[in-house]
Structure 1
Amino acid sequence: MTSAPRHLILIESAKRPPSPSDEVETADLLWRKLREEAQDAYDDEPNLASLLRRSVLDRTGFEDAVVHRVAGRLANELVAGAQIVAAFAAALQDNPEIGAAFRADINAVIDRDPACDRFIEPFLYFKGYHAIQTHRLAHWLWARGQTDFALYLQSRSSDVFQTDIHPAARIGKGVFLDHATGFVVGATSVIEDDVSILQNVTLGGTGKESGDRHPKVRRGVMIGAGAKILGNIEIGAFSRVAAGSVVLHPVPDHSTVAGVPAKVVNRSNKGEPYRDMDQLLSQLAYDSFSYEI
């Protein structure tokens, strides 16, 4: 049996209820917890008072807060934050699942990052969280035919967050980009729900081929730092790709692959790689040989 996710414990243990004047749904425990943490930070760190008010305390709900924080980081003298906020608002109205993904992604950070136990940290500071939410807007724009705005957001996200995710790529919810720097995702890539990915990971093609040419990462996968996964191959559910691996062939479900080129070094139905975040291969139950893949 797996332990309860830490974010559920954190949400349920909110220290104080909102005041009657708060413009917040009392049932929205995530929003209550984020506001509480923002108020504590506001009281403790006056240098961040303006940031905390504009990002959280003056906002009307969690989705509104995420939109304004991400738009604030993306805005520049060429494309104003208000334009990005308006696009996000249209996307959220058209597809409420985008807001649900905002929530699942921030819960994933709290659940899986041992260095983080406050929602305010990924919300304000973590470029991996912000990059994924930027992609969600870019993907919605791409699907609507607004390809230039989508590509602009991809470029701007690359400048600001050091990630390069093509707007056509499909990304599920509950996705955790740990550190995120150097993350590259090709146009026909798929990342399903509940996936954890560390820095300098590439989901790329093998050359100039056209059509469906990028990896498909199934649910529950963890991809270690510096891994390169190339071609239209499937990374099976609940698998682990070791740091620095180069994966050129499909990976079976519930497998660990390592090496250049990567080979299967372990198969086990136990554990949840995306939550375990275990990158120490020496602690895995190795077989005495490698499987060809």
Structure 2
Amino acid sequence: MAPHLKEEEHLFGNGSRDCQDDVWIDLKIEAEQMSEERSPDFELLGRELLPEFLLFSILKWNTLEECLATHLSQKLGWSAAPAERWNSVLLTAFREGKSANGEPLSELIRKDLVVVKEQDPACPSLAHALLHYKGYQGLEVYRAANWLWRKGLKSLACIFQSRVSEVFGLDIHPAAQLGWGIMIDHGTGVVIGETAVVGNGCTLLHGVTLGGTGKEAGDRHPKLGCDVLVGAGASILGNVKIGTGAKIGAAAVVLTDIPAHCTAVGCPAKVGNTHVTVPNLGWWAKLNWPSRPGRTLCKVFSKL
């Protein structure tokens, strides 16, 4: 990795992002390395395809915002709404947008990317995650849609939601509240309802549903604390609370609150073991956990 900024400095910078940052520098280095892949048995195979793909997708751009907006717009565009229209909205969102908590989207797209690389053992690089991981791609389009929704552009936000469902196979309502450092692994079949809340550092595997019971209106979807792991095919239904650090087993059906640091399995889900989740200090450090109490906790955890 490229040298990181001092802890007193802001990791991601401000403004139009004309200045490069560590995440973007690392990503471009990785793309350059990918473009140099060769095989003696297939000397000509992909000689033009791979370098040209990487040039257009990553290497020709000056910022991550431009790169990601272009890459996503190429996937989302179609004849009635060409890629350049999507690009314009996405680029504005990534440059100027903020989350409901006031965090710049320019920071969130980086934090999410770093988490995928650090948490998924199948992910070899930041560039690989950006180019190929539809869970990450769909999440970042959701972030733009959520910004539009809160700006009062609800019809446009719903177009984003619908197109993400068609292209990436995951359905996140633009009004849902998702924190930073989220990993949606694989993405296929993930559904997150309108009033759902997903805390920082959560991991959702494929087929996860954060939905309603069909018996309630208004605030009717789950609320996940930080660092919750939800296994493949699990359904969490209704306005229930999942405590920080909890783990939900694959195919579980959760209809009641789950305490922090507990594991819930089965249908209906029942609480099993209690555990203590120790943060993965590698990716927390890369995300520059901002508060001094947070840095102190990192030092404490490192001694456990």
TM-score band, normalised by shorter chain? 0.7 to 0.9
Q: 1:32 aligns with which of 13, 25, 39?
A: 25
CA shift in 2, pair 1:209/1:71, >3 Å: same
Could you tell me whether the CA contact under 8 Å between 1:24 and 1:31 is conserved in 2? Answer: no
Give the CA deviation at 1:116.
1.2
Q: Deviations over 1:182-221 (max 9, x none)?
A: 0001100011110111000000000142100000111011
5+ residue gaps, structure 1, are: 1-9, 14-22, 276-293
Q: How large is the Cα RMSD of the aligned pairs?
A: 2.1
5+ residue gaps, structure 2, are: 5-16, 38-45, 283-304
Partner residue, 2:85: 83
Q: SS at 1:206's partner residue? A: coil
Give the CA deviation at 1:12.
4.4
Could you tell me whether the CA contact under 8 Å between 1:221 and 1:237 is conserved in 2? Answer: yes
Distance of 2:219 and 2:278 partners within structure 1: 31
Could you tell me whether the CA contact under 8 Å between 1:238 and 1:272 is conserved in 2? Answer: no
1:1-293 map, 5 Å = 10-12=1-3, 25=19, 28-44=21-37, 45=46, 46-91=48-93, 92-95=95-98, 97-272=104-279
CA shift in 2, pair 1:197/1:94, >3 Å: closer
Q: SS at 1:116's partner residue? A: coil
Q: SS at 2:125's partner residue? A: coil
Could you tell me whether the CA contact under 8 Å between 2:192 and 2:211 is conserved in 1? Answer: yes
Q: Indicate the percent of aligned positions where both proteins have the same amino acid.
A: 36
Amino acid at match of 1:190: V
Q: SS at 1:160's partner residue? A: helix
Distance of 1:272 and 1:259 partners within structure 2: 26
Q: Deviations over 1:223-271 (max 9, x none)?
A: 0000000000111001100111000001111111111110110112244
Q: TM-score, normalised by structure 1?
A: 0.82
Q: SS at 2:36's partner residue? A: helix
Q: SS at 2:137's partner residue? A: helix
Partner residue, 2:291: none
Q: SS at 1:260's partner residue? A: coil
Q: Please, which moves more after superposition, 242-251 or 201-210?
A: 201-210
Q: TM-score, normalised by structure 2?
A: 0.80
Distance of 1:107 and 1:236 partners within structure 2: 24
Distance of 2:141 and 2:18 partners within structure 1: 24
